[in-house]
Each structure stands twice: as C-alpha cells, then as structure tokens.
Copies of this chain bind each other. A is one copy, B any other.
Amino acid sequence: MPDALERLKTRLAEQHSLDELISLLAWDQRTIMPPAGGRQRAGHMALLQRLSHELFTDPEVGRLLDDLAPLEGSLDPDSDDAALLRVTRRDYEKAVRVPAELRAEMTRAASEAAPVWVKAKATSDFELFLPLLERNVELRRRYIACFEPQDEPYDILLDDFEPEMKAAEVTRIFDEVKTELVPLIAEQAGREIDDSFLTGHFPLDRQVALDWEVVDMFGHRPGAWRIDPTEHPFASGAGIDDIRITTHYHEDSLKSLFSTMHEYGHGLYQHQLPDRIAHLPVGTAASLGMHESQSRLWENLVGRSLPFWHFFYPRLQEVFPEQLRGVELERFYAAINRVQPSLIRIEADEVTYGMHVILRFELEQDIVNGRVELRDLPARWAEKMHDYLGVEVPDDANGVLQDMHWSIGLIGYFSTYLLGTVMSVQIWEKAAGDIGDLEQQVERGEFAALREWLGDHVHTHARKFAPQETLRRATGATIDAKPYIAYLKKKYGAPVPA
C-alpha cells in the first residue's frame, strides 16, 4: 500500500514538473524569447502538455487510486496524503471524462485563435473574431456534455477555475455587490479629483529600481525572485524558490508600481506554498480566486491604503521629485484612488473593477445558456456598460474584444477576479484582527507579520481543500460580500480626504 502511494507520488511529481516547465516556457516566451523563436516554441509546449496529460490519465493512475481507496479511508482527512488522494481522484475523474480528441481540438482552437484575436482587436473587427468564438463555444458545449449534469451547465466550466463553486452562488454574491456598487459609482463619478501629476515623466531606470525596492520591502527569501518587463503582466516561475513576476513599464505613469504589488501577491503565494508538498499537484494554489485574493490584498489593501503611503510617500517623492514635489500625501492618496468609470477592465479602479467582471460573468452565462446570439454580443456589451458604468462603448476594441480570454476558450474564468477581490477583504480583516496592529505595522513599513500570517493561514493549505474550505480555515467563514462592500463604502463613501 505505501508502495502504491509512492508510485502515485512519483508519477504526480513528474506531471507537476512538466507543468512547471510549461509555465517557465510560457514565461520565457512572454519576456525574453527572441520573437522568431515562437515558431518552435508552440511545438515544445504542446509536447510537454501532451506528456503531462498522458502521465496523469494513464489507467495506472486509476488502478493506484483504486488500490489506495482503503488507505484513504483510514487517513486523517487533514493529512497531506489524504488530501493528495482526494485531489488526485477528483482531477483524475474529471480528466478521463474528456476524450483526447476533444482536448486536442480545444488546444488547437485556442492556439489558432490567439493571433486572430490580436488582429481583430487591433482593427476592432468583431466579424473576424466571431467564427473563433463560435468554435470555442461549440467546443465548450461538447466539453460540458462529457460530465454529469450540474445545477446548470456553467457550473462545469466554473469548476475548472474555482473548484466546487456554483454559478448560483456567484450570482448571489455578484448581485449583492452590484446593488451597492452601481449607486456608489454614480456618486463617485461626479467628484472632481486632480490626478494630473500621475501622468508625466517617470524615468524607466528609477521605476525598475523602485519595483525591486517594493518587492524586497514586502519581503521574500533571497535570490529567489525575478522581475521582468512584458506586454501583459503576470506571475510565473518554476518552483517555490524560482518566482518570476512581470510588469509593463510606462514611461509616463506609475502603473507598473501598482501592477508589481499585484504580482507580488501572486508570487508570494507561490513562494510560500509548503515545501513538503510543493513538488506535487496538491501543493499548488487552491484556485484562481484564491490567487487573486492574494494579489488584490497586496495591491489594494496594502498598496492603495493610507497607512502604506504615510510610510512610503516620502520615498516616492524622493525618487520622482520632478513629478511629486509639492503634491501633498492627501492629494496623492486621493489621486491613486480616484474612481473613474472607463472602458477597459485592466485599467479600472478598485470600485468600478467589479462591474467589469459582473458584466462578463452575466454575458458568459447568457452564452452558455444560449440566451444570446453571439453576433449580438457587442450590442449587449454596450448596453451593460451604459447601465452599470454610465459609459458609451465607441468600438469593439474597447468593448467585447478587449480581453483575450474568450478567444482561447477561457469561459468561466472572469468571475474569479471578483471572487478573489471579495475574499481579499475577508482575509485582510481576519489577519488584522489576529495581528492586532497591522495598520500600524504597514505604517512603519513592516510586512513580515502579514506575510507570515498569510503563509500560516492561507498558503500552507495549498490545494489540499476546496477554496471555500481554505477560506473557512483561514477566516472562519466562507465567501461573503459584506466585508468587501463595507470596505468600499468606508473608503470611498467617506468625504474625499483633504
């Protein structure tokens, strides 16, 4: 029996190594690869993906799981081994339901669509994009049909990104958020806040040094991180001591600084996964939503907070005196938290961001449930943008074509951004309660206690439990929109500082 467990672990460790290498190859491609190398890279990545999939869906895994069922029943459910068996069984049962042919077709559709999406977006040409979307939606329907019916078909897609979460639960949370956000946004949109000093000249070399300064100040083990420029920032790596975050430097703004704090949160999660199981699939992050809770926590709860800037603003002024000399802390704080309904999700502020996600989640449900003709999506998009944010969509590049997700078949993904944001406030408040003087620590530039609390209460569980169980263990509750809404109301409902 222990022998069967060791055999299973060996195989899973190999599969996980291949998955880590796929991430590393993707990082390489998006940061430093000579562009002409792309032609060969696609084949390299497809090979590793196939090998990983073959390792995992081999009938031997099923036999080992059968052999290990008695052992699993006898183990403490909280133990690493019980979690490994539980998670592996769940993954395996899902994986073997999808025929290799369908999986290959989905992969092919995604890789063929990516460059077309780039072109469609560049030329704002929804007609060019529509056939890809039709193909992807059709493939997702076939994918859904591989599984036992759930409460609704969308649940099957969502489960891949946020295990055990249900569309009905997401709807309930998002409706609660929407009810509060729409009036809050309308109220904020009328305020006059000067943020002109956030646009100007921020020399790149100083931005690079500053990003490193912040990442080092937030904290990590030495010699284990990289920061590299890329087009669309992301966090990646090849193990808990090889963390690679990325950013996009804009000479005319400080966007990179906030994006780096966001990616730091993702990176720290990877960095603090428990060493004893980090080489196994069960040792990875709990979900996309839980990942986003970590990035949003560092970006917003720390990085856009007044205590943080009490500490760090003098340093920022020192680095960019030409831009910030004479700008008081209160004006700076108001500017970096300015609420401004806009067209583009990834540029949205903390308050309007949620509505961008809700819009996408609602449209995805309409797509999957066949309640919308795909060719009507641009019009639906524009209607919702008008209703939720009060903005008019000038063209599809600034509307339905702005995100890559749907073009590569990622339907059911968007909601995790807002689920994570909601959870980030619950986690922050529990951490603050446990630590006691968290705000004062942040005001002194001390982050060790927060980092360790997150390690001990969130990261330590890796993927041993479903995300909501992880959240319950960390905070005592499952997902709840109220703390998030209260946080936004307190921060943004109050009079503008100064």
Contact = CB atoms under 8 A, between A and B. Distances in A.
Interface of A: 14, 17-18, 20-21, 24-25, 28, 32-37, 39-41, 43-44, 47-48, 51, 221-226, 237-244, 279
Contacts of A28: 24, 28
B24 A43 contact: no
Contacts of A21: 21, 25, 44, 48
B223 A40 contact: no
A222 B32 contact: no
Given A21-B25, A21-B48, 9 more contacts: A14-B47, A17-B43, A34-B223, A35-B223, A35-B224, A36-B223, A41-B239, A43-B279, A51-B51
Contact of A243 (B34, B41, B242): B34
A242 B14 contact: no
Contact of A224 (B17, B34, B240): B34
Contacts of A24: 25, 28
A225 B37 CA distance: 9
A223 B221 CA distance: 35
Nearest to A44: B17
Given A17-B44, A47-B17, A39 B239 contact: yes
A23 to B, nearest CB: 11
B14 A224 contact: no
5 contacts: A20-B40, A21-B48, A34-B224, A34-B242, A35-B224
A222 B36 CA distance: 8
Contacts of A244: 34
A223 B242 CA distance: 27
A35 B51 CA distance: 28
A80 B221 CA distance: 51
B18 A241 contact: no
**Which of A36, A241, A244, A279 is the most central at the interface, judged by chain B CB atoms within 10 Å of its CB?**
A36
Contacts of A223: 34-36
A224 B39 CA distance: 11
A41 B226 contact: no
A51 B47 CA distance: 12
Given A34-B226, A224-B34, A238 B47 contact: no
**Which of A28, A221, A237 is the most central at the interface, judged by chain B CB atoms within 10 Å of its CB?**
A28
A231 to B, nearest CB: 15
Contacts of A226: 32, 34
A204 to B, nearest CB: 15
A28 B239 CA distance: 14
B238 A36 contact: no
Nearest first, the 4 A-B pairs at minimum CB distance are A37-B242, A40-B239, A36-B241, A36-B224
B51 A238 contact: no
A32 B221 CA distance: 17
B44 A20 contact: yes
A241 B40 contact: yes
A10 to B, nearest CB: 11
B20 A239 contact: no
Contacts of A238: 37, 40-41, 44
Contacts of A240: 40
Nearest to A43: B17
Contacts of A39: 239, 241
Contacts of A32: 32, 226
Given A21-B21, A24-B28, A28-B28, A242 B47 contact: no
A240 B240 CA distance: 32
A442 B238 CA distance: 45
Nearest to A226: B34
Contacts of A239: 37, 39-41, 44
Contacts of A51: 51
A32 B226 CA distance: 8
